[in-house]
Chains A and B, each alone.
Chain A
């Protein structure tokens, strides 16, 4: 019994890690390219989950087409937000905060107006149902699916940023926008792609979490705050740092919420941030 509880929390922790890593990577990407901390990133996560419900359940498309449409729509929304709001203030942190807070307020209330105040649920498709048993441990298939899909996304993302021309251009813009522009890289285009990718990853995380837990309009803010803790932990602008940071946060949350309570898990995670700021303010993995 003791062992099985341990494994349950481990699996839970990994699932939570995956979601927060996907959200934090997008946040980090947008910050790297545009120097804007998009506090409304959590709302993209929330809207992604709602759109999965909208397409997959309400419009009676099945799960996977709904998933695909939700991710594509949020990526598109990301581009729109970049063009309309973030383009003119690129590189300025303070106006970025203010605009994204305006977006939080409006997107969250719009979600309530459009989708209603009742929390929504999305049933997992048949392939993802069932339970894996072994060594006295039972793991639901949907959790395994969440982990597999997330790892797949992370690998694709990693390859994209390090191998493709656009990914390399992104790194160049993150390092020095002026020098990148001199090389003929269109910063407008790269910023839009970064917002689209960030939005898509947030939407994927939202859809995956929406499959295993209820969808509500307030689900974005805690996820955003956790992602902010992760990028502080991993160092701003570092992909491996984000992944390790996400695992630390997710596992902490998984174990503390099993052995104490959900509220204690949140408090522990946030206090971790302060400990980190006291001892290593530039993040665990930075070379500063």
Chain B
């Protein structure tokens, strides 16, 4: 393996994350980190879908599908958690497959509308079908995961490592996709779909696959979410949370995987700090995120990750009228 700055940085971050709970010594902030890892998993899936030019407004609902799968199977049937975990991903992926097959055949706008609609249908079904999904009250007392390899699960620390593992797994898969020909073709769909088709690719098929993969990981995140909080309800997975994911991804920069991760981390920490302001009101959260999204879209469409390049190009060429973006940053995504 070639040793360069990126791999050293990755190694340092990895080691730091392994020892993070011992370093910060605070249950509160460890739980914050777990939340961030779960958001990262969903955001990376959302970003994969976004790279093909699609906005999925149902990602958090798919996370909810995973969470409800685990909650119902473990509370009602007493099933083993480690069997439910992959099953949660599969249920979400299956739903995504159906929605994708229906809505991706024609214009991309219908995909956004269809995911918006399915998010509402899923939420209303949870609320309406009380005997099965618990209605507005949701499902309570979801048990901790069963012991595995002699390891007992339930403490914050074990959930920390479980969610860290999930995030690393997702990142590795996303990285493999990014460098594969599949990932490269996906990137072309937003701007040059006709060209991509003319060289023999099938946008319908590839976009559906991207959507299914992204939703599979959302389902897995939900499967960790359910036993971590021991309680889930329909309002945990509303479309507003999907909007939050979108803000994370765009703020960090959707063009790269680490841009997305930086976005999730920065915005989540800022949100937590917002809670400590005097006179905090929960309504500040969506207001803050909405304003962040608008400011980013208006002034730094490449996200935080594009800032260093922009600043350096500003200082270098401030006498000349030079375009601030490189060819790579032509659109929001690519």
Task: List residues of chain A with CB under 8 Å of any chain B CB.
Answer: 37, 84-85, 88-89, 92-95, 97-99, 101-110, 112-113, 221-222, 225, 228-229, 232, 236, 261, 263-264, 266-267, 270-271, 273-274, 277-278, 281-282
With a CB–CB cut-off of 8 A, which chain B residues contact A97?
55, 112
The answer to whether residues A271 and B121 also contact, given A105-B293, A109-B290 and a CB cut-off of 8 A, is: yes
Report the separation of the CA atoms of residues A264 and B291 in the bound assembly, to the nearest whole angstrom: 35
Report the separation of the CA atoms of residues A236 and B293 in the bound assembly, to the nearest whole angstrom: 27
In the complex, what residue of chain B is closest to A217 when comparing beta carbons?
Answer: B283
Given contacts A102-B292, A108-B290, A273-B113, 12 further A-B contacts (CB under 8 A): A94-B53, A94-B55, A98-B297, A101-B243, A102-B293, A105-B247, A225-B116, A228-B116, A266-B120, A267-B124, A267-B125, A267-B128
User: Is B293 a contact of A98 with CB atoms below 8 Å?
Assistant: yes
B248 to chain A, nearest CB (A): 12
In the complex, what residue of chain B is closest to A272 when comparing beta carbons?
Answer: B117
User: Is B109 a contact of A277 with CB atoms below 8 Å?
Assistant: no
Cβ contacts B237-255/A at 8 Å (1 or 0 each): 0011001001100100000
With a CB–CB cut-off of 8 A, which chain A residues contact B53?
94
Q: Which of B114, B240, B247 contacts A273 (CB 8 A)?
A: B114
Could you jot down 9 A-B contacts, CB within 8 Å? A94-B331, A94-B332, A101-B246, A232-B110, A232-B113, A236-B109, A263-B128, A273-B117, A278-B102
With a CB–CB cut-off of 8 A, which chain A residues contact B2?
none
Report the separation of the CA atoms of residues A281 and B246 in the bound assembly, to the nearest whole angstrom: 26
User: Is B294 a contact of A112 with CB atoms below 8 Å?
Assistant: no
Report the separation of the CA atoms of residues A271 and B53 in the bound assembly, to the nearest whole angstrom: 25
Q: Does B127 contact A (CB under 8 A)?
A: yes
The answer to whether residues A264 and B239 also contact, given A37-B109, A94-B333 and a CB cut-off of 8 A, is: no
User: Is A93 a contact of B287 with CB atoms below 8 Å?
Assistant: no
Q: Does B298 contact A (CB under 8 A)?
A: yes
Q: Does B284 contact A (CB under 8 A)?
A: yes
User: Is A225 a contact of B117 with CB atoms below 8 Å?
Assistant: yes
B271 to chain A, nearest CB (A): 13
Q: Which of B118, B286, B332, B333 contacts A106 (CB 8 A)?
A: B286
User: Is B293 a contact of A264 with CB atoms below 8 Å?
Assistant: no
User: Is A113 a contact of B287 with CB atoms below 8 Å?
Assistant: yes
User: Is B287 a contact of A282 with CB atoms below 8 Å?
Assistant: no
Q: Which of B114, B247, B291, B297 contacts A277 (CB 8 A)?
A: B114
- Which positions 96-110 of chain B face chain A at CB distance < 8 Å? 102-103, 105-106, 108-110
User: Is B117 a contact of A98 with CB atoms below 8 Å?
Assistant: no
User: Is B114 a contact of A225 with CB atoms below 8 Å?
Assistant: no
With a CB–CB cut-off of 8 A, which chain B residues contact A274?
102-103, 114, 117-118
Q: Does B301 contact A (CB under 8 A)?
A: yes
The answer to whether residues A105 and B105 also contact, given A37-B112, A94-B55 and a CB cut-off of 8 A, is: no
The answer to whether residues A229 and B117 also contact, given A94-B331, A106-B286 and a CB cut-off of 8 A, is: yes
User: Is B124 a contact of A93 with CB atoms below 8 Å?
Assistant: no
With a CB–CB cut-off of 8 A, which chain B residues contact A228?
113, 116-117
B324 to chain A, nearest CB (A): 14
User: Is B110 a contact of A277 with CB atoms below 8 Å?
Assistant: yes
The answer to whether residues A221 and B239 also contact, given A95-B297, A270-B121 and a CB cut-off of 8 A, is: yes
In the complex, what residue of chain A is closest to B116 when comparing beta carbons?
Answer: A225
User: Is A101 a contact of B293 with CB atoms below 8 Å?
Assistant: yes
With a CB–CB cut-off of 8 A, which chain A residues contact B283?
109, 112-113
In the complex, what residue of chain A is closest to B291 when comparing beta carbons?
Answer: A106
Q: Does B190 contact A (CB under 8 A)?
A: yes
- Which positions 156-190 of chain B face chain A at CB distance < 8 Å? 190
Q: Which of B109, B114, B285, B289 contacts A93 (CB 8 A)?
A: B109
In the complex, what residue of chain A is closest to B114 when comparing beta carbons?
Answer: A277
User: Is B121 a contact of A267 with CB atoms below 8 Å?
Assistant: yes
The answer to whether residues A98 and B125 also contact, given A85-B294, A103-B290, A109-B283 and a CB cut-off of 8 A, is: no
User: Is B250 a contact of A98 with CB atoms below 8 Å?
Assistant: yes
Q: Which of A107, A110, A271, A281 contacts B110 (CB 8 A)?
A: A281
Q: Which of A109, A267, A277 contacts B286 (CB 8 A)?
A: A109
With a CB–CB cut-off of 8 A, which chain A residues contact B247?
102, 105
With a CB–CB cut-off of 8 A, which chain A residues contact B333?
94
With a CB–CB cut-off of 8 A, which chain A residues contact B292?
102
In the complex, what residue of chain B is closest to A221 when comparing beta carbons?
Answer: B239
With a CB–CB cut-off of 8 A, which chain A residues contact B284?
109
A271 to chain B, nearest CB (A): 7
Report the separation of the CA atoms of residues A263 and B287 in the bound assembly, to the nearest whole angstrom: 28
With a CB–CB cut-off of 8 A, which chain B residues contact A282?
106
Closest 10 CB pairs of A and B: A105-B290, A106-B290, A102-B293, A109-B287, A281-B106, A102-B294, A270-B117, A105-B286, A109-B286, A228-B113
With a CB–CB cut-off of 8 A, which chain B residues contact A94?
53, 55, 190, 331-333
